[in-house]
Amino acid sequence: MNAILPQVSPASTLPSADELDRALRDASPAEIIAAALNTVGREKLALVSSFGTESATLLKVMADVDPAIPVIFLDTGWLFEETLAYRDTLVATLGLKDVRSVKPAEETLTREDPDRDLWFSDPDACCRIRKVEPLARALKPFDAWLNGRKRFQGNTRADIPVVEDDGARLKFNPFANVSREELEAIFVRAKLPRHPLLASGFRSVGCMPCTSRTAEGEDERAGRWRGRGKTECGIHTMKGS
C-alpha cells in the first residue's frame, strides 16, 4: 500500500486519528511507522516499549525505518533482571540510538509506596505511580507515539484501530493487524534474540510481583495480574496527560 500522507505538520494542523486510520487500515507495520514519522517528525514521535517477550519485533521494524526514533522504556523498579538485560541486548543488536529509561518519581514512591507493597494492596495504584504517571510525563514533548498492542491479544485489545487519539496526541498501533504467525516470522527472518524468560513459561512479562507463568492453552496474558480481574496496567486506557 502507498498511502498519501502529509509531510511533517505543525501540531495544530495534524490530520485526525480517523483520517490516518482510514489511510493506514491495510498498511504494513513499516508503512505505519514511516507514516507516523512523516506526519509529526522524529523529534515529536516516540515508541513506547516494555522490552517484553514480543517487543523485539516492533523495535526491529522501527529500527529499519529509523533507529533514532526515541524509545521510552518504563523502568518501574519492579522489573526482572532478565528484562533489563534483554533491553541492553536489543539496543546493541538493533542499533537503537535513543532509548530513554523513565523511572517513577522518588517523592511519589516515598509518599504512596514506602514499604513497596502497594502492588499487593492496590495494583491499580501501583501501576499508576510506576507506569501511568511516568509515561504521561515522558510523552509530554511528543505529538504521537507508537506501541506494540495487537488485536490477537484479545480482551480490550481485540478491536484496536491502527491509529487512535489518546486525548492528547496521536497513538499508532503498527501491529494491530499482525497475526501471531506473522510476528513469529519476523523473529525468525531477522534472527532476533528471545526474551530470557520466555523459555521458562513466561509468555508475557511485566513487573515481577504481578507476572506468572502461563500454562498450555491459556491466553498469553493470563499470567499478568493473575486472579485480580485486571488485564491492563493503565497506560493504554489513560486519556491525555
pLDDT along the chain (241 residues), means of 10: 49 84 95 97 96 95 98 97 98 98 97 96 94 95 94 68 92 92 95 95 90 82 76 62 43
For residue 80, the tally of other CB atoms under 10 A from its CB is 18
pLDDT at 134: 96
126 is annotated as an active-site residue:
no
In angstroms, the CA 119 to CA 210 distance is 8
pLDDT at 224: 81
The beta strand positions in 84-187, using DSSP E, are 99-102, 144-146, 163-165, 170-172
pLDDT at 8: 56
pLDDT at 241: 43
In angstroms, the CA 40 to CA 172 distance is 12
CB 85 within 8 A of CB 112: no
Grid-cell match 494542523, residue found: 13
Q: What is the DSSP letter of 235?
A: T
pLDDT at 238: 53
Q: What strands, in cross-sheet order, belong to the sheet with 45-48?
A: 99-102, 71-74, 45-48, 144-146, 170-172, 163-165
Handedness of CA 123, 126, 127, 132 (dihedral sign): positive
At the topology level, CATH places domain 14-210 in: Rossmann fold (3.40.50)
